[in-house]
Structure 1
């Protein structure tokens, strides 16, 4: 595989980064800013990125956008609608259902799920509170309706895309947490020096950065594998990426809390929002170590 991004992929990544930087939450208080969320939702809808797969985007391109949105804690649905779009074209305002609940559900009307080889559509009920402050789950409403059939190979590839997409969100969330901690270490002074100048803090940040870069490498391969390798190899690559990225993201987010010191344990510090998002993405389409060597089981 060639890990270099094409010019079009770099442009897509940069566009996603600009949108996330402009309208993503910059503080915990911003999470309650309805005007900002409304502008963000309109901007994301206008991009058409929720229909990336039906527009012919690769797994790499999906991962690039999801990663940038995770980096800036973008708090309108993307991951769920992208996966729903890959399941059934032509259904607007749809997300996915996992473990009996609609995920990434704010503003969505339908939830799609896979049971065996069947694609089911279910209505979405009220939002329910959860750990993640940036993405919301909802109860399912009404009886499920079958809307399609997936072949065995298609079902495995969709599962691989789902695991890769949640891995991308983990990588982005970890990158954002590391940036938050690094910037704080550059300005916070203790004993007349910025805390980033002390080896203890510098080493923590360096180790966290190494975990982020390792996550990017394993994610890129898994994202490429979604479309380029046989289904069994694609799902195995996705599971390996999810295990690595989940463990790395949790460590990086906890490091961000530690670098912030006492303020890192307060509600006003964004570090806990990154950690909450990482823990939630870890629980979406979970992977167990023993699954990697069992192939498609």
Structure 2
């Protein structure tokens, strides 16, 4: 099978790589992580000016009609640079939901998302949900002219700065029912909405979203009442494929840093990379990286396909292998570096933290192994 990039794809990858390389040094990232916004507004605007935020959207929405492979190329470079901008959660996950479920008026917002003038976020997790999209206790009660939302959403990545937040809420049924989940487009500045922002351990900021009788109009409902769960799962599948690509970029950077260290760090008068035991461990890291690369490519190829058991199996498999590889490479990189690998001033430790956190977003390896097993029974 030919995995060569087209000329347009190669140009896209080169553009993303050059932007990250020129604008996102490790020192810059550390300053941004400590800022109030938590990422670079200038870099976010550059993503929009270069058309990178428009890549996943259809041409009718002001995008370029890119697919999973194009998204993978961008996410890999953002992962390599440990970029803090909420590209995955705003453009891919939230933007995908808006494009799939939104009516013509709602989809008009996609032009601003594609140009990076509007940042979105998805509030789908709750304190008790633990990777289960159908575990929703936030309630939406029908009132005159719209809905009244009450509840709490946890760890909304990028929610602290989002202009609009897509909130899942239960309009009918019990807490874990598959049916009865709806999606609402909420203005975070509305009465009754409050946010508690905080930095995650790996750098990007998130917030807990509190909804106290928030009134939203009927026009802020996305899609059919109580039918949002299939779209949430489908778009999370696209986000998982993109996340595998982001982890791949971070793993590549960790392997490169480790190899450079083995070539330069000397012991007994020779580079430690001369020691056969360390060479074997480096080979094992590269083997894990190659497996993760193959699965990231496969996930990218199926990400935009119609929903099916085969697609779900592939994405669960990709996330499982990526998580295992990410954890192994993070741990081995630190071990081969020694103490310096854990220092705050050295970039490797930040890659390790990012890889561990990516391993838990959208489901850890145990969750996806169980999902894969259940899907095998269905297949």
* TM > 0.5 fold call: yes
Q: Map of 1:80-99 to 2, 5 A cutoff?
A: 80-82=89-91, 83-88=93-98, 89=107, 90=109, 92-99=118-125
Q: Does 1:75 align with 2:77?
A: no
Once residues 18 and 198 of structure 2 are traced to their aligned partners in structure 1, the CA distance between those partners, rounded to angstroms, is 30
Once residues 24 and 273 of structure 2 are traced to their aligned partners in structure 1, the CA distance between those partners, rounded to angstroms, is 26
User: How much has 1:30 moved relative to structure 2?
Assistant: 4.2
Once residues 157 and 238 of structure 1 are traced to their aligned partners in structure 2, the CA distance between those partners, rounded to angstroms, is 11
Larger radius of gyration: 2
Aligned residue pair count: 295
Q: Give the conservation status (yes or no) of the 8 Å contact 1:254–1:275.
A: yes
Q: Which residue of 1 is the match for residue 222 of structure 2?
A: 148
Query: 1:36/1:197 Cα in 2 relative to 1: closer, same or farther (>3 Å)?
Result: farther
Query: 1:113/1:144 Cα in 2 relative to 1: closer, same or farther (>3 Å)?
Result: farther
Q: Which residue of 2 is the match for residue 52 of structure 1?
A: 55
Once residues 21 and 4 of structure 1 are traced to their aligned partners in structure 2, the CA distance between those partners, rounded to angstroms, is 23
Query: What root-mean-square deviation, in Å, do the aligned CA atoms of Structure 1 and Structure 2 show?
Result: 2.7
3-state SS of 2:121 partner:
strand
User: How much has 1:102 moved relative to structure 2?
Assistant: 1.4
| Greater mean deviation of Cα atoms: 113-122 or 282-291 | 113-122
Kindly indicate which of the two structures has a greater share of residues assigned to helix: 1
| Greater mean deviation of Cα atoms: 167-176 or 154-163 | 154-163
Once residues 96 and 371 of structure 2 are traced to their aligned partners in structure 1, the CA distance between those partners, rounded to angstroms, is 24
Structure 1 alignment gaps of length 5 or more: none
Higher relative contact order (CA closer than 8 Å, sequence separation 6+): 1
Query: 1:266/1:87 Cα in 2 relative to 1: closer, same or farther (>3 Å)?
Result: same
| Greater mean deviation of Cα atoms: 42-51 or 231-240 | 42-51
Structure 2 alignment gaps of length 5 or more: 58-62, 99-106, 111-117, 126-152, 170-178, 189-194
User: How much has 1:70 moved relative to structure 2?
Assistant: 0.6
After superposition, the C-alpha distances for 1:167-210 in whole angstroms (9 at most, x for unaligned) are 22221211111111112222222222222222222222221111
Once residues 213 and 243 of structure 1 are traced to their aligned partners in structure 2, the CA distance between those partners, rounded to angstroms, is 14
Q: Give the conservation status (yes or no) of the 8 Å contact 1:25–1:74.
A: no
| Greater mean deviation of Cα atoms: 115-124 or 229-238 | 115-124
| Greater mean deviation of Cα atoms: 257-266 or 140-149 | 140-149
Query: 1:260/1:105 Cα in 2 relative to 1: closer, same or farther (>3 Å)?
Result: farther
User: How much has 1:37 moved relative to structure 2?
Assistant: 3.3
| Greater mean deviation of Cα atoms: 144-153 or 232-241 | 144-153
3-state SS of 1:131 partner:
coil
User: How much has 1:260 moved relative to structure 2?
Assistant: 1.2
Q: Give the conservation status (yes or no) of the 8 Å contact 1:109–1:123.
A: yes
User: How much has 1:216 moved relative to structure 2?
Assistant: 0.9
Q: Does 1:118 align with 2:178?
A: no
Match of 1:136 among 187, 197, 205: 205
Q: Does 1:233 align with 2:310?
A: yes
Q: Give the conservation status (yes or no) of the 8 Å contact 2:16–2:77.
A: yes
Once residues 111 and 127 of structure 1 are traced to their aligned partners in structure 2, the CA distance between those partners, rounded to angstroms, is 14
Once residues 36 and 123 of structure 1 are traced to their aligned partners in structure 2, the CA distance between those partners, rounded to angstroms, is 21
Q: Does 1:257 align with 2:334?
A: yes
Q: Map of 1:195-206 to 2, 5 A cutoff?
A: 195-206=272-283
